[in-house]
C-alpha cells in the first residue's frame, strides 16, 4: 500500500526511514504548496513528485565545507527555456535526491526534496538539533549558519524554488489560475526605552557621555548638553520619545499596518524596565493609537527562557493597555528554535516576528512570506504565525562599525522580496536616530521608498515630505530628493 502523501498538485514519496516524520512531511508539503501557489487550488491528480531524502543525506549536506554546496542551473529543468527567463540563473541544490537536472517527459520528479527543505528552513531544524555555537546572549548568529556559509543567506531560497515550481506547473497547465500575494512592507519598532532622560542621573550621565564622544569640543558638547536638558525638562523634546513620534510619521507614509512592540519587564541588568503607569508610557500609547499602530509585546531578556515570567509580563502589559496582546518580538531577538514558539503559543500569542539574525540581515527562514509555525517537540502545526524579520537597524549599524556594511545588500534584499511578492519586514528602534549614524538610517529609508515606487520610480506611492526636524525626517527628505535623480534599479539574480 502506498504511503505517499498528496496535497493539491504535489505528491511526496514518503516512506518509513525518511528524514521527515509523517506529520513533518505533511506540514512541509502543505507549506511548499502555499509558497508555490498561494491560495490557489489544483484540479486533478498531482503532477509534481518529490522523493523523500534520508537523515544521513541531510547530515552530509550540513557537514559540507564552506561554499561546497552545489548550485543548479535553473534553465536546465525546463523543456522550454523561455519559461525560465524571469527566474534566477542558478539556485542552491538543497536536499538533492538525484543528479538529473531535467524534468522532461510525462512524469515530473523533482531532483530536490523541497518538502524537507521547507521543513528545515521554516523550523530552523539546524539550530534546534545540530547545536550551533551561541553568543553571550544565547543567540545563534547568522555568520555561523549553513545559509551564510554556503552563500545564500541573502536569498529567499524557498520562495525562489517555489517560483521555479510555479513556472513548471504553468508549463503543464497554461490556463491555471494562480492566486499569490503582492509585495508589502511591514515596519515595526521595538521600544526598549521610551525616554532617554527620565531623571537627573540619566541626564548627567548622558551629558558626560556625549561630551566624551565629542572629545570635549566646546561647541558640539554644548549643543548636546542643551538638547539633553530640553529632553529632561520636556517629554516632547526627549530624543527617544521624539524618535517614536517621527517613526509614526514615517509609518504613515510607507506602511498602513505598522506594529510597535512595548516592554513590560521589570528593571534588570538587561532590561530598562520602564513604568507602565508613567506619563511617558501612557502618552506614548495614546500617540501610537492615534497613528493606528498595532500594539505588540516585547518580552524581556529573561522572559525568553522562562515561560512563567513570559506569562506574567504579558499579563502586566495587557492590564496596562486594557486589551489583549497577540503580537510579540523577543528583546535582542532571543528566539530559540527549540522552545520559543511553544512558549508563545502557550501564553496566547498569535503572531511573532523574532526570527531574524542580530548580526546579519537576510532570510533566516529562507522565505519572506509569513507562515504558520510547527512545534518540533509536539510534532504538530501551531496556530502561531511567524513574520520573518529581514532587516534590523541595529544590525546595519553593527556591520558599519565592523567595516562589513554594504549599501548594495539592502537593494538585493528588497528587490528579492519584491520579486517573491513577500513581506519586507523591517525593524527600526525609536532610539536609533540618536546614535549619530545617519548614513545607515538614510540608506534604509531610501530603500523603503524605492520599494514603494513603481519600477521606473516615476509614480511614488508615498508623501513627498515628512514633517519634523529630527534625523528620520531629515533622512526621508534626503532619500526623496535622491529618488528624483536618474538611478539604476538594483538587480538581483
Give the C-alpha separation, 203 to 205, whole Å.
5
When the pLDDT of each residue in the chain is averaged and rounded to a whole number, the result is 90
User: Would you state the cell numbers that stand for residue 219, as one nine-digit string?
Assistant: 561647541
- The answer to whether residues 103 and 84 touch, using CB atoms and an 8 Å cutoff, is no
Higher-scoring residue by pLDDT: 25, 463: 25
Q: Number of C-alpha atoms within 13 angstroms, CB side, residue 287? A: 20
**Parallel/antiparallel/unpaired status of strands 90-92 and 71-73:** antiparallel
Give the C-alpha separation, 280 to 194, whole Å.
7
Backbone angles phi, psi at 139, to 5 degrees: -105, 145
What per-residue confidence (pLDDT) applies to 221? 74
User: Would you state the cell numbers that stand for residue 257, as one nine-digit string?
Assistant: 499596518
Choose among 160, 89, 88, 87: nearest CA to 121.
160
- Residue by residue, what is the 3-state secondary structure of 250-308? HHHHHCCCCEEEECCCCCCCCCCCCCCCCHHHHHHHHHHHHCCCEEEECCCCHHHHCHH
Query: How does pLDDT run across 211-239, given as a tens digit for each residue?
Result: 777 666 777 778 878 888 888 899 999 99
**Per-residue CA distances from 185 to 63, 250, 281, 389, 451 (Å):** 36, 12, 27, 11, 8
Stretch 64-79: mean pLDDT: 91
Query: How does pLDDT run across 389-436, given as a tens digit for each residue?
Result: 999 999 999 999 999 999 999 999 999 999 999 999 999 999 986 666
Query: How does pLDDT run across 438-475, given as a tens digit for each residue?
Result: 889 989 998 998 888 755 445 555 565 676 667 888 88
Query: How does pLDDT run across 141-194, given as a tens digit for each residue?
Result: 999 999 999 999 999 999 999 999 999 998 888 888 888 888 999 999 999 999
- Is 488 a residue whose pLDDT tops 50? no
What per-residue confidence (pLDDT) applies to 492? 47
- 3-state class (DSSP) for residue 200: helix
- 3-state class (DSSP) for residue 413: helix
**Parallel/antiparallel/unpaired status of strands 294-297 and 259-262:** parallel
- 3-state class (DSSP) for residue 427: strand
Query: How does pLDDT run across 83-142, given as a tens digit for each residue?
Result: 667 789 999 999 999 876 556 666 688 999 999 999 999 999 999 999 889 999 999 999
Stretch 305-310: mean pLDDT: 97
What per-residue confidence (pLDDT) applies to 387? 98
Give the C-alpha separation, 305 to 351, whole Å.
18
In order, the DSSP letters of 329-364 are --GGG---TTTHHHHHHHTT--EE---S-SS--S-T
Percent of the chain with pLDDT over 90: 68
Q: Quote the DSSP letter at residue 6.
A: E
Amino acid at each position: 500500500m502506498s504511503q505517499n502523501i498528496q496535497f493539491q498538485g504535489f505528491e511526496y514519496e514518503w516512506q518509513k526511514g525518511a528524514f521527515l516524520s509523517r506529520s513533518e512531511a505533511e506540514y512541509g508539503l502543505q507549506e511548499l504548496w502555499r509558497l508555490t501557489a498561494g491560495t490557489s487550488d489544483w484540479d486533478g491528480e498531482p503532477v509534481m513528485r518529490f522523493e523523500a531524502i534520508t537523515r544521513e543525506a541531510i547530515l552530509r549536506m550540513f557537514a559540507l565545507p564552506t561554499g561546497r554546496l552545489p548550485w543548479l542551473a535553473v534553465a536546465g529543468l525546463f523543456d522550454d527555456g523561455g519559461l525560465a527567463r524571469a527566474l534566477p540563473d542558478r539556485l542552491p541544490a538543497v536536499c538533492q535526491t538525484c543528479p538529473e537536472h531535467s524534468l522532461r517527459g510525462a512524469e515530473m520528479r523533482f531532483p530536490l526534496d523541497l518538502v524537507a527543505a521547507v521543513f528545515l528552513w521554516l523550523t530552523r531544524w539546524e539550530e534546534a538539533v545540530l547545536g550551533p555555537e551561541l553568543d553571550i546572549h544565547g543567540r545563534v548568529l547568522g555568520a555561523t549558519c549553513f545559509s551564510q556559509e554556503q552563500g545564500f543567506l541573502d536569498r529567499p531560497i524557498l520562495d525562489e524554488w517555489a517560483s521555479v515550481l510555479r513556472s513548471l506547473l504553468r508549463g503543464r497547465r497554461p490556463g491555471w489560475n494562480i492566486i499569490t500575494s503582492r509585495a508589502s512592507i511591514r515596519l515595526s519598532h521595538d521600544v526598549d526605552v521610551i525616554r532617554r532622560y527620565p531623571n537627573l542621573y540619566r541626564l548627567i550621565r548622558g551629558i558626560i557621555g556625549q561630551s566624551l564622544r565629542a572629545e570635549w569640543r566646546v561647541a558640539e558638547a554644548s549643543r548636546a548638553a542643551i538638547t539633553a536638558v530640553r529632553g529632561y525638562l520636556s517629554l516632547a523634546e526627549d530624543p527617544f520619545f521624539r524618535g517614536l513620534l517621527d517613526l509614526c510619521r514615517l509609518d504613515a507614509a510607507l506602511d498602513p499596518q505598522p506594529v510597535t512592540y512595548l516592554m513590560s519587564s521589570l528593571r534588570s541588568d538587561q532590561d530598562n524596565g520602564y513604568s507602565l503607569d508613567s506619563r511617558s508610557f501612557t502618552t506614548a500609547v495614546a500617540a501610537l493609537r492615534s497613528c493606528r499602530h498595532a500594539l505588540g509585546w516585547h518580552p524581556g531578556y529573561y522572559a525568553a527562557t522562562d515561560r512563567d515570567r513570559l506569562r506574567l509580563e504579558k499579563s502586566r502589559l495587557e492590564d496596562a493597555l486594557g486589551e489583549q496582546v497577540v503580537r510579540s518580538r523577543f528583546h535582542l531577538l532571543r528566539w530559540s528554535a527549540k522552545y520559543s514558539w511553544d512558549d508563545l503559543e502557550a501564553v496566547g500569542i498569535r503572531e511573532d516576528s523574532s526570527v531574524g539574525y542580530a548580526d546579519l540581515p537576510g532570510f533566516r527562514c529562507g522565505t519572506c512570506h509569513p507562515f504558520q509555525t510547527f512545534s518540533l517537540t509536539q510534532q504538530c502545526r501551531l496556530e502561531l504565525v511567524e513574520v520573518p524579520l529581514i532587516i534590523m537597524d541595529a544590525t546595519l549599524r553593527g556591520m558599519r562599525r565592523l567595516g562589513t556594511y554594504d549599501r548594495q545588500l539592502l537593494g538585493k534584499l528588497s528587490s528579492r522580496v519584491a520579486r517573491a511578492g513577500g513581506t519586507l519586514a523591517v525593524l527600526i528602534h525609536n532610539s536609533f536616530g540618536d546614535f549619530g549614524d545617519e548614513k545607515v538610517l538614510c540608506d534604509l529609508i531610501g530603500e523603503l521608498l524605492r520599494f514603494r515606487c513603481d519600477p521606473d520610480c516615476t509614480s511614488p506611492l508615498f508623501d513627498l515630505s515628512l514633517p519634523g526636524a529630527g534625523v528620520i525626517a531629515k533622512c526621508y527628505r534626503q532619500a526623496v530628493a535622491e529618488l528624483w535623480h536618474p538611478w539604476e534599479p538594483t538587480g538581483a539574480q
